[in-house]
Chains A and B, each alone.
Chain A
Amino acid sequence: MLAYVLRRLLIGVVLAVLVTFITYLLLSGSFRDMVSTLLGPDVTAADITRRTHALGYDRPVVVQYVDWLGHAVRGDLGTSLFTSSAVAPTVLSHIVVTMSIVFPALLIAVILSVTLGVWAASRSGAPDRIAQSISLVGHVIPALLTAIVLVVVFAVELKIFPATGFVQFIDSPVGWLRSVTLPVVVLVIAGMASITAQVRGSMIEELSKDYVRTLRTAGLPARSIVLKHALRNAGSPALTVISLEFISLFSHSVIIENVFALPGFGSFAFSSAQNIDVPVIMGVTLVSVVLVTVINLIADVANGYLNPKARLH
């Protein structure tokens, strides 16, 4: 099991390095544009060249990347070219806001989806129709629309929740809860669609397998067969979807946090990309990739725990 975890960790690190390198490579064509934006209007090409050289953006891309990576592994993500503030703390302060809606939403979505999916698969009839409807609604209505409708109904019309703004948990736990409730609800609806469909589908498949019938002939109670045996075997494909759903919720959140005017990651990433603020863009990329990699690693480890055959690969 330890060897399995280490192998998955190594694969994760390699993928994360590759993704940041590809991003750096793709951005390298815009370095002169960045310097030009930095210097403002009325500068000559020679000025740009000189400044690009001074900042080191005219070195070979691989050298620049290795230099960046060398600092990054030590936790130094440099400073913003435009605001001169350190990149690492700024990026972290924004990702905290986004994750404070993504993680609760993912957790709630997983709990509700697994409950609903298992219920639908083992009962059919009305529970099955409920599960399929919820799944369909989540797929049919874009999260942006759910967000807008919720704001208009609950914040603008009924005034139950604040329409905009983020309250730090430390400042006021109740205020924080009120400020994240609507965004979390939006993400839960979006996240439940795929996870419920997956859990329902793989539970139906598992429950029709031979070993389930054999367990029934052993006189075991339905609860043990469904919750202990079938659910564990249905867990692997569900885990893959849950880890993919993290990326999806992360993506949704950068847009819907804008609806709720939360000082999150999306608008921050957008403004840094508009300025072509390369150190900040790389910081944004790195933090996102590390998050995705960590979630995938957790899913892999959980899968190895659930599924003895997975530990072999």
Chain B
Amino acid sequence: MSTTLIPEPDDAQISVVPRRSVWRHLRRDPQAVATAIILIVLFLAGLLSPLISPHDPNAASLDAINLPTGTPGYLLGGDESGRDILSRLLYSFQTATVSALIGASVALAIGVIAGLVGGYFGTAVRSSTEWLFNLIMTFPGLITLIVLLPLTHGDYRWTMLVLGVLMSPGTYRIVRNLVLGVKKELYIDAAKVSGLGDVRILARHVLFAVRGPIIVNTAFLMGSAIAAQSGLAFLGVGAKDVPSFGLMIYSGFNNIYASPLQFVWPCISLGIFTGCLVLFGNSLRDAFSGPRIKRQKPAQGLRLVTSAIPTSVVTATVERDDEPMLAIEDLGISFPGTTGAREVVKGVSLTVDQGEVVGLVGESGSGKTQTAFAVLGVLAPEARVTRGSVRLEGRELVGLSESALRSLRGRVVSYIPQEPMSNLDPSFTVGSQLTERVRHTLRVSRRAARQTVLDLLARVEIPDPPRVFRSYPHQISGGMAQRVLIAGAVACRPRLLIADEPTTALDVTVQAEILDLLRDLQKEFGMAILLVTHNFGVVADICDRIAVMRGGEIVETGVTREVFRAPRHAYTRGLLDAILDEGAPAGGDASTVGAGR
């Protein structure tokens, strides 16, 4: 039974953590300690079985036939041929251990070497290894082991060797994916530059970096090998004089009416052996992937962690005519970290009036994107609003449910992301994605929605709207994709548009066109824009007012022209100096100003 021929989905994502912390993690994990102790005992029992077995496992004695459990000399009783069950069980541990070692080593030897080679060298080498492993995967599992019986002559060791080959594609895939990731690391380039040969780099650096998942995989391979060997022996494949769990389960099972306990011992043994291997493998996986933050419930609206909502917020929910488009007051957002909650937005206050364009400027990590996400109600699930209020045309958003927020999104407030490609669903055509949006918010027929979308695509200056309508995201350019996202965002005439670095991921020539388009659309629809950016050039181009953010706080706000002329805060001055220096290596204060994400 090849139970786990498939790598677990997490395997490729296991990050590399220092060896010492893996050890510490394992020692503190009761599951790891318990399963490791059991496994060591079982391996030892297998290795020492010739010394500690009370009887020869194949010696049949007429007196011992179906002896009950607990008979002196026959602790677990005798089987249907009068052989000592305890001795056979101990020898079965040996068979299982040898099976695990052969199966896992063969799979590892083939899978790791081919994975290193296939992942490290170019596409030509990789496509040949892919072919080889596709071929191996076409072999029909255990049926292969059975039909090759004439070749293996029923010797379980040869069978396990073939099984190792059949299991190798799983290991190959894990290693290949890891190596593809590691190959991009700078230290590999450094090793190449310093003149190390490929073999040496593979053996020393790459193999070392990917060892964690390989160790984890070994535990699962061993479990699979033992399960497969037992299954085959149960079927009758293999020599009759080699005691194994499968053989013992078979005879005990057939003898169930005469002696119902006989099949229990090998079943429990097999279950404990493979179970401990899998559980130990899981513990190893946890240890290698490091401390894990508990997964949070997704899409729960904007929740406040403290139940105490400031009174000012409660009274402010009354709608007034003079309410600004967006009013953020004393907003705090925190993320759980390994050392407790970390506040990334610390009391931000900001207003955007109807039809006003406000730039939110700051380096990456300053909390500007999280502030923008809070307005949309799409903070990451683990993020918490710790204090403050966010009002959209006077309506308090903090504390609103996901469905209440949903009714505002797309209609009142809309969003343009930074990276256009990753923000379109790769599996649907541009047309079907926009049509779904339009149909959902405007509640119109498919045909009407299609026409609306084509008009929108033309409005955002896309040259051939019907062609782009039919295209998948990977078939259009980044600039084109950003125009598509803008079309989607303005489809339902929102009154506030949140644009998060809308030009950062684009070519310089395209950036200007997109800004022109945004400006035109803003004038045409009279919508307010909150533009999140690290680029003062963009701010100067389009914004009425700016707010400068640093370390989760707003350090300066003002009319764009005035801030540019006379920045009051040293940080703003640093940022402004940085634009003048752009292109030249930044020094002094400006070095704190990153180029954004």
Q: Is B323 located at the chain interface by the 8 A CB criterion?
A: no
B134 within 8 A of A: yes
Q: Which residue of A lies closest to B294 (CB)?
A: A124
Instruction: Report yes or no: B428 in contact with A229, Cβ–Cβ below 8 A.
Output: yes
| B275 CB within 8 Å of chain A | yes
- Distance (whole angstroms) from the CB of B193 to the closest CB of chain A: 33
Chain B nearest CB from A22 CB (Å) reads: 8
- Shortest beta-carbon distance from A214 to chain B in Å: 4
| Contact (Cβ within 8 A) B134 A15 | yes
In the complex with contacts A224-B436, A232-B427, A217-B143 CB distance below 8 A: no
Shortest CB–CB separation between residue A190 and chain B, in angstroms? Answer: 7
Q: How far is the CA of A174 from the CA of B147 in the complex (A)?
A: 34
| Inter-chain contact A124/B234, CB cutoff 8 Å | no
Residue B66 lies at the interface, judged by CB distance under 8 Å to chain A: no
For residue A69, CB closer than 8 A to chain B, the reply is no
A74 near B: Cβ within 8 Å?
no
Chain A residues 98-125 with CB under 8 Å of chain B are 122-125
A308 to B10, CA, bound (A): 25
For residue A232, which residue of chain B has the nearest CB?
B427
A219 touches B410 (CB 8 A): yes
Answer yes or no: B69 CB below 8 A from chain A CBs: no
Residues from chain B with Cβ under 8 Å of A248 in the complex: 2-3, 5-6, 141
Cross-chain contact A145 with B440 (CB below 8 angstroms):
no
Q: Is A81 interfacial (CB-CB < 8 Å)?
A: no
Query: Chain A interface: which size bin?
Result: 35 or more
CB distance from B304 to the nearest CB of A (A): 20
Interchain CA distance A11-B295 in the complex, whole Å: 41
B235 contacts A267, C-beta separation under 8 Å: yes
Contact A140 B427 (CB under 8 A): no
Q: Which residue of B lies closest to A245 (CB)?
A: B6
The answer to whether the Cβ of A152 comes within 8 Å of any Cβ in the partner chain is: yes
Say which one of A43-51, A58-66, A197-205 lies at the interface with B: A197-205
Q: What string of 1s and 0s marks CB contacts (under 8 Å) between A242-276 and chain B?
A: 00110110111011001100000111011011101
Q: Does B299 contact A (CB under 8 A)?
A: yes
Contacts of A265 in B (CB 8 A): 143
Q: Using a Cβ cutoff of 8 Å, how many contacts connect chains A and B? A: 263
**Residue A160, interface by CB 8 Å:** no
Q: Which of B272-326 contact A (CB under 8 A)?
A: 274-275, 278-279, 282, 295-299
A148 touches B249 (CB 8 A): yes
**CB < 8 Å: which of B402, B409, B440 contacts A222?**
B402
Interface assignment of B378: CB less than 8 Å from any CB of chain A: yes
Determine how close the nearest CB of chain A comes to the CB of B268; give it in whole angstroms: 9
The proximity string for A residues 192-219 relative to B, scoring 1 for CB distances below 8 Å and 0 otherwise, is 0110011011101001011101111111
Q: In the bound complex, do residue A284 and residue B143 qualify as a contact, i.e. CB atoms below 8 Å apart?
A: yes
Alpha-carbon gap, A272 to B105, bound state (A): 30
Q: Is the CB of B415 within 8 A of A214?
A: yes
Query: CB within 8 A of A210: which of B150, B407, B423?
Result: B423
Contact A33-B426, Cβ < 8 Å, known A142-B274, A219-B410 = no
A23 on interface, CB distance cutoff 8 Å: yes
Asked whether any CB of chain B lies closer than 8 Å to the CB of A52, the reply is: no
Question: Taking A23-B148, A27-B150, A218-B441 as contacts, is the C-beta distance between A244 and B137 under 8 angstroms?
Answer: yes
- Option from A18, A152, A214 in Cβ contact (under 8 Å) with B417: A214
Selected from A194, A293, A296, the residue in CB contact (under 8 A) with B6 is A194
Given known pairs A124-B298, A217-B410, the reply for A142 and B227 (CB within 8 Å) is yes
Q: How far is the CA of A156 from the CA of B255 in the complex (A)?
A: 12
Q: Is the CB of B422 within 8 A of A210?
A: yes
The verdict on B114 contacting chain A, using a C-beta distance below 8 Å, is no
A251 and B2 in contact, given A210-B423, A214-B417, A258-B235 (Cβ under 8 angstroms): yes
Q: Which 3 A-B pairs have the closest CB atoms?
A: A201-B9, A219-B410, A251-B141
Write 12 A-B pairs (CB below 8 A) sorted by A numbering. Answer: A122-B298, A211-B423, A229-B425, A241-B6, A244-B137, A251-B2, A252-B231, A259-B234, A266-B146, A269-B146, A270-B235, A289-B138
A interface residues, Cβ below 8 angstroms from B: 11, 15-16, 18-19, 23, 26-27, 29-30, 33-34, 122-125, 128, 136, 139-145, 148-149, 152, 156, 190, 193-194, 197-198, 200-202, 204, 207, 209-211, 213-222, 224, 229, 232-233, 237, 241, 244-245, 247-248, 250-252, 254-255, 258-259, 265-267, 269-270, 272-274, 276, 281, 284-285, 288-289, 291-293, 296, 306-309
Give 17 A-B pairs besides A198-B6, A216-B376, A273-B237 with Cβ atoms closer than 8 angstroms: A15-B138, A29-B151, A128-B295, A140-B275, A141-B274, A145-B271, A210-B419, A211-B423, A217-B409, A218-B409, A218-B410, A219-B441, A259-B234, A266-B143, A266-B235, A273-B148, A285-B140
